[in-house]
Each structure stands twice: as C-alpha cells, then as structure tokens.
Structure 1
Amino acid sequence: MTGIDRREHIRTAMSAKVKVVHPELGEFLFSTRDISDGGVFIIVDGQAFEPNIGDKVTVQVQGLPVPAPVLDMLIVRKTNDGLGLQFELRGA
C-alpha cells in the first residue's frame, strides 16, 4: 500500500459468508476478507453490486447455528475487488 495508512483499527483476516441488503439494489451474498472494531471488508468478486460511497446497507453473517444479528453498515471505501463497510450505531 502506498501513502499514509489512515486505518484506526487493526484488521484481522476473517473469511465468512455475509448477506448484504441494499435498499435499492437488493440482497447479495459475499465473503469477507477481514474485520476490525470499525468495520468489515467484503469481496464483491465481479457481482453486479455497485453501491455508492455513503450508502447504507444491512449485513448479517450466514451459516451460524443461530441467526446472527443484522447490523447497520455504511459503504466507506471501494477497491477493485471489494468494499469497505463501517459499523453504524443504531440510533446514532
């Protein structure tokens, strides 16, 4: 990576399936690449998912023995292979 790393939180590699729901684009299933206290990076891998920076989505981990919570997240970064999502606090 070139330039200054502005990351606030340490990233941990994590591969999990997540359901991402965008209010206009619909529901998608992606894999995660990493997670931190501030958010998660999802691998889009050529799927027809083209949200804008600043769009809100909900995210839910799939494949657990019990349903995972549905989290509000914000699209904060786009790369060639995926999207950086930031956790949002409900009611904030």
Structure 2
Amino acid sequence: MVGNDRREHSRTAMSAKVKVVHQRLGEFVFSTRDISDGGVFIVPGEQPFEPSIGDLVTVQVQGLPVPAPILHMVVVRRTVDGFGLQFSGSDE
C-alpha cells in the first residue's frame, strides 16, 4: 500500500457490461471501470441507481457466449461517478 491508498487488491482497468440486480431498486445494466480480486467498480451513468452502503446486489457479466455466473456483492463505496462493489463470498 502506498500513501493514502488502503486497497488490499490491485485494480485492473476493464470495461464490460454487467447486469446488477438490487432487491429494492430493480435490474440495471452498467459499465465497469475496473476490477480487482476484491471487487468491481460500476459506472451507472445517467441511470437512477441509488443504493446504500452495505446493500447486497447480484452481478452478472453480459455479452459472453455462455451465461456468466451470478455473483453476490456488497456496495462498499460511492464516488461522484459510480460505486465500488465487493465480492461477498457467498457464491461458494
């Protein structure tokens, strides 16, 4: 860890379409900005997505030749341009 960066995992820039399902807010398709071993950052753009920190969501990569696994994630961070989601570990 360097300076103020408290991240445990290195991030890799990655743009992909993901389906995000929130129990209360519904189903959305967003772009990702980056991914790491710990989670993913999503960019909702102009879509009205306002989860609370700690909310649970499911995430599934879209556009693959076969259906991707559905992953359980937790909203852990909010910035002006998106949300950080952390893998919850309940997919095992």
- TM-score w.r.t. the length of structure 1 is 0.94
Q: What is the number of residues matched between the two proteins?
A: 90
Ranges of 4+ aligned residues in structure 1 off by more than 6 Å: none
CA–CA distance in structure 2, aligned partners of residues 77 and 89 of structure 1: 17
* Residue pairs, 1:51-66, within 5 angstroms: 51-66=51-66
- Structure 2: which 5+ residue stretches go unaligned? none
Let me know the Cα RMSD of the aligned residues: 1.4
Give 1:73's aligned residue. 73
Question: Identity percentage over the alignment?
Answer: 73
* Residue pairs, 1:1-92, within 5 angstroms: 4-90=4-90
Give the deviation of 1:44 after TM superposition. 1.3
- TM-score w.r.t. the length of structure 2 is 0.94
Give the deviation of 1:47 after TM superposition. 1.1
Q: Secondary structure at the match of 2:48?
A: coil
Partner letter of residue 52 of structure 1? S
